[in-house]
Amino acid sequence: MPTSSIPVIDVEYEQPQPAAGVCSTRHAWARVPPEPSPEERAALKDRIRRLLKEYDAVMVSHYYVHPDLQDLAEETGGIVSDSLEMARFGHQHPARTLVVSGVRFMGETAKILSPEKRVLMPDLDATCSLDLGCPIDAFSAFCDAHPDRTVVVYANTSAAVKARADWLVTSSCALDIVRALKDKGHKILWAPDRHLGDYIQRETGADMLMWNGSCIVHDEFKAFELELLKKQHPQAKVLVHPESPAAVIALADAVGSTSGILKAAQELDAPEYIVATDKGMMHKLRALNPGKVFIEAPTAGYSATCKSCAHCPWMAMNSLAGVAHVLETGANEIRVDPALIPRARVPIDRMLAFTAALKAGQPAGALVPHLGAA
Ligand code: SF4
């Protein structure tokens, strides 16, 4: 347990039992810092602007973190984006220090791609139920039991799990990469998010063996309540992140990663949108689409735990005070076992090369070897 005076909340998550094929309920914790007053907020932002210059640092923020951390990142020349663009931006930016506001795997990915840079995070205990639910020992045994399969893992995993993988994907490129692998004859071992894996399997028809993890936020969206909400808002389009259950995805007008949801909201012409993803996304959706109305998709309700609030408790651990503190002190530096870095980098580099080729209109499928090829 942490020693901080900030109140700690208990977070339940599932951890698959490979032998039994079921999940057991485990517990982790999160501490969500208090909101600063307007005066404190302004003073913290001034301090951070100064410290970023002083330490040659840049902010890299995820769409799910506090709006202050999104706005300040953009205002100071950093980025707010999904995990794929966070990785690419941090790698390509010349700053010597990256301040990653998100969850731990995002900081680790930045460090793997840029071992020479200092990577700081507001709170190193900000984790992810997908990462927690995919421990390396059990996952490695799962891979060993299926040596005929190409191992594809989601970005939300530890450096050790990445080092065990052939390919890394994020939700914005998973469909394209799995489709390319299927076209070259690969059978896939997929981890850790079962809903995203099921969605990709349905879309591509690939032969996929699934790990059984889930995101505690997206797993909570409810199809029955969503149908009721749709009836109350008949003009609304439904935008769904594919980490959500299949019955929720089935009600979607657009399914996509955080960037996919942003794109759909800009391209569709409806006045209202029901959004099934972390509510941190609402800040960017509203900023980019003035005049359009965005409504949170229903979760389990207001009476239960932090799992039911459509906001990741670990993303909520990031704060302005945390960013100022780590810049001032150099605390919370991400360290990755140097022995893991070269192996973990292989699947990440494959993903970045594939997505760069796609973006450039080049034949990205050519980067995927036929099964059995060297
Ligand atoms: S929102 Fe879900 S997938 Fe994203 S960091 Fe939180 S638990 Fe992990």
Residue 62 structure tokens: 């995820």
* pLDDT reported for residue 312: 95
Shortest-distance Cα residue to atom 2 of ligand 1: 215
* pLDDT reported for residue 1: 47
Integer Cα distance of 330 and 297 in angstroms = 39
Full pLDDT tens readout for the chain, 374 residues: 455 677 888 898 988 876 666 788 899 999 989 999 999 999 999 999 999 999 999 999 999 999 999 999 999 999 999 988 998 999 999 999 999 999 999 999 999 999 999 999 999 999 999 999 999 999 999 999 999 999 999 999 999 999 999 999 999 999 999 999 999 999 999 999 999 999 999 999 999 999 999 999 999 999 999 999 999 999 999 999 999 999 999 999 999 999 999 999 999 999 999 999 999 999 999 999 999 999 999 997 544 455 568 999 999 999 999 999 999 999 999 999 999 999 999 999 999 999 999 999 988 888 888 765 53
DSSP assignment of 171-194, as one string? TTTHHHHHHHHHHTT--EEEESBH
Shortest-distance Cα residue to atom 1 of ligand 1: 312
CA distances from 271 to 10, 13, 250 (A): 38, 36, 21
Which is the closest atom of ligand 1 to the Cα of 129?
7
* pLDDT reported for residue 38: 97
Q: Would the CB of 217 count as within 6 Å of ligand 1?
A: yes
Which is the closest atom of ligand 1 to the Cα of 216?
7
Which is the closest atom of ligand 1 to the Cα of 13?
7
User: How much distance in Å is there from the Cα of 104 to the middle of ligand 1?
Assistant: 11
Integer Cα distance of 355 and 91 in angstroms = 15
* pLDDT reported for residue 292: 98
pTM, entire model = 0.94
Reported as a single tens digit per residue, the pLDDT across 269-306 is 999 999 999 999 999 999 999 999 999 999 975 444 55
Shortest-distance Cα residue to atom 3 of ligand 1: 215
Q: Would the CB of 215 count as within 6 Å of ligand 1?
A: yes
Q: Would the CB of 315 count as within 6 Å of ligand 1?
A: yes
Integer Cα distance of 196 and 172 in angstroms = 11
Reported as a single tens digit per residue, the pLDDT across 2-45 is 556 778 888 989 888 766 667 888 999 999 899 999 999 999 99
Integer Cα distance of 41 and 51 in angstroms = 15
Nearest to 196 by CA among 249, 254, 251, 149: 249
